[in-house]
Chains A and B, each alone.
Chain A
Amino acid sequence: MEKNISNEHVIELEDVHYSVPDGTEVLSGVNLNVKRGEIMCVVGASGAGKSTLLKLIAGLLRPTSGSVKVLGVDITFLTERQLNDVRKRIGVVFQFGALFDSLTAFENVAFPLREHTNMSEDEIRERVFELLDAVGMRGSEHLLPAELSGGMRKRVGIARALALGPEIVLYDEPTSGLDPIMAGAINSLIADMRERYGVTSVIVTHDIHSAFELSDRMAMLHDGRILVCDTPRAIKSNHHPFVQRFIHSGVREV
């Protein structure tokens, strides 16, 4: 399989610390690089700070110390408005979809197009249907989020994140709570995005089977740090006790 991974780093985290306002340190010195076109899975137990890591990359949270560079831009100290230029090039898929409840599935996917492009309504409709087709949601476009199942919401969330043709897509638990068939469909969708558009993906998950199947490299987050970051094959043969426990427990809470 031809993989379009270049050596250019599109995400660089350097010694990133993050503490929640009450002082508890969630991340204590994370270093992580992601190359363009790569599929990187970040695995770890629930509460290990995986979602926090994702939000730091998306610029939704600011690190307490350290630096976050995305697409060559140091976003650590950018203002919200300066961040928006970078954010348009990143798609974020939230754990529960985070669809806007007052908008239909169609309007949710059309939302970023209406906000940031000058596309005509016809062009928008065409693009939205193309995206909904890609996630297998064509035919549900008139439904409100409350009328969709969890998996359907997640798929519409993916379509919305892909709408502006992002260079990086960040997924928060894309397969959790889905049946195995749907989980497989989403995994192949993620792989397909890379094949077709060279999208870089960072996937935060505790579904270790998906992670092994999908990733070019995996990072294992434990105790606020990246314990190991390597190819799935190397991870499997890593002898660190935590790594082994994590792999063999099928990944429940550790």
Chain B
Amino acid sequence: MARRREVLNNRSSAEGQSERTARQPQWVGEFIIVPIVYLGEVALLLAETVRAMFSERLRLRQLVEQMDEVGVRSLLIVLLTVSSAGVVLSLYTAKELATRGAGHFVGWLLAYTIARELGPMVTAIVVAARVGAAFAAEIGTMKVTEQIDALRSLAVDPVAYLVVPRMLACIIMMPALTMLADVSGTLSGMLIASTVGVHPNIFLDSIRSFLTVTDLAVGLIKSVPFGILIAIVSCHQGLETTGGAMGVGRATTNAVVLSLILVYVADVIMSSVLPK
């Protein structure tokens, strides 16, 4: 009987609550509260990861495995994507500039665009799609099959065991990938430019005289926060997975979409803050 009353009370209080929330427009919840709560959760996981990074021993085997996954296995597709961007950029600009007598700017224009924006950005997009999805799917599967609980029951911190090596791998490999992407993007652009009358020597000379170390550094520096965002967002999605195979699918999609959104936001902020 007492239990019955409790249930009734709970129900009426739940109704009261929905009445209260009904008074504020729905978009407040959807577009303001949900994102704030989400960012809070991600920030907490980031803090927890940094703490675990310094307080727990590093699992070298996991780190090497993840560096292989993030770096080595992403390399080909990253190079391919950035190179194609370099080719297209060159196709659109090299001939125009060359016919207007500005052929000696082509090399700089390409290298500048790729080093500052295309290189780090395209690398981040490819890594978010490839690696972010893998992180979320793997950790999500571990979550729904109780492997995360198993880790905890064996007194192993899932953040230290799973998130730390993944984030470190992203921090180390993103600049490395970006650097190689810069080189391959610029070289493939050079190849195309040479077919429309910009000699490679002029192309390289242009880079040498106009491109600064700052341009290169800005791109490489940007890639580090991109890597951190991709790792944390995707691992967070994985750890929060519920609801079996469908939940894993949802977590994977969310990981990619949210990583990309946050990478775009971070890109805009960093591009306006970092030295021009």
User: Nearest CB to that of A225 among chain B residues?
Assistant: B3
Q: Cβ of B157 and Cβ of A55 under 8 Å apart?
A: no
| Interface residue? B36 (CB, 8 A) | no
Q: Cβ of B3 and Cβ of A28 under 8 Å apart?
A: yes
A142 to chain B, nearest CB (A): 18
Q: Cβ of B157 and Cβ of A115 under 8 Å apart?
A: no
Instruction: Find chain B residues with CB under 8 A from A115 CB.
Output: 154-156
Bound Cα distance A101, B146 (Å):
11
Bound Cα distance A58, B3 (Å):
27
| Interface residue? B77 (CB, 8 A) | no
| Interface residue? B149 (CB, 8 A) | yes
User: Nearest CB to that of A92 among chain B residues?
Assistant: B153
User: Nearest CB to that of A94 among chain B residues?
Assistant: B146
- Residue from the list B14, B145, B155, B156 in contact with A98, Cβ < 8 A: B145
Q: Cβ of A98 and Cβ of B152 under 8 Å apart?
A: no
- Residue from the list B150, B152, B153 in contact with A100, Cβ < 8 A: B150
| Interface residue? A96 (CB, 8 A) | yes
Q: Considering the complex of A and B, which 6 residue pairs feature the smallest CB-CB distances, nearest first?
A: A84-B155, A92-B153, A98-B146, A98-B150, A87-B155, A94-B146
| Interface residue? A139 (CB, 8 A) | no
- Residue from the list B141, B145, B147, B153 in contact with A87, Cβ < 8 A: B153
| Interface residue? A111 (CB, 8 A) | yes
Instruction: Find chain A residues with CB under 8 A from B149 CB.
Output: 55, 60, 92, 94, 98
Q: Cβ of B146 and Cβ of A88 under 8 Å apart?
A: no
Kindly identify, within residues 1 to 34 of chain B, every residue whose CB is under 8 Å from any CB belonging to chain A: 3, 10, 14
Q: Cβ of B153 and Cβ of A23 under 8 Å apart?
A: no
- Residue from the list B3, B147, B153, B156 in contact with A90, Cβ < 8 A: B153
Instruction: Find chain B residues with CB under 8 A from A80 CB.
Output: 152, 157
| Interface residue? A67 (CB, 8 A) | no
Instruction: Find chain A residues with CB under 8 A from B14 CB.
Output: 23
| Interface residue? A196 (CB, 8 A) | no
Bound Cα distance A190, B155 (Å):
22
Majority SS of interface residues in chain B?
helix
Kindly identify, within residues 128 to 155 of chain B, every residue whose CB is under 8 Å from any CB belonging to chain A: 141-142, 145-147, 149-155
Instruction: Find chain A residues with CB under 8 A from B3 CB.
Output: 28, 223
Bound Cα distance A160, B149 (Å):
14
B136 to chain A, nearest CB (A): 16
B125 to chain A, nearest CB (A): 27
**Interface size class, chain A:** 20 to 34
Q: Cβ of B147 and Cβ of A92 under 8 Å apart?
A: no
User: Nearest CB to that of A170 among chain B residues?
Assistant: B153
Bound Cα distance A84, B52 (Å):
14
Instruction: Find chain B residues with CB under 8 A from A91 CB.
Output: 153
Q: Cβ of B147 and Cβ of A98 under 8 Å apart?
A: yes
A101 to chain B, nearest CB (A): 7
Q: Cβ of B146 and Cβ of A116 under 8 Å apart?
A: no
Could you give 30 example pairs across A and B, Cβ below 8 Å? Answer: A23-B14, A28-B3, A58-B153, A80-B157, A81-B157, A83-B155, A84-B155, A85-B155, A87-B152, A87-B154, A87-B155, A94-B146, A94-B149, A96-B146, A98-B146, A98-B147, A98-B149, A99-B147, A99-B150, A100-B142, A100-B151, A101-B142, A111-B154, A112-B154, A112-B155, A115-B154, A115-B155, A116-B154, A116-B155, A161-B153
Per-position binary interface string of chain A over residues 63-92, scored 1 when its CB falls under 8 Å from any chain B CB and 0 otherwise = 000000000000000001101110110111
A127 to chain B, nearest CB (A): 15
Bound Cα distance A223, B153 (Å):
27
Bound Cα distance A87, B157 (Å):
12
| Interface residue? A200 (CB, 8 A) | no
| Interface residue? A95 (CB, 8 A) | yes
Bound Cα distance A84, B158 (Å):
12
User: Nearest CB to that of A60 among chain B residues?
Assistant: B149
Kindly identify, within residues 28 to 42 of chain A, every residue whose CB is under 8 Å from any CB belonging to chain B: 28
Bound Cα distance A59, B142 (Å):
19
A28 to chain B, nearest CB (A): 7
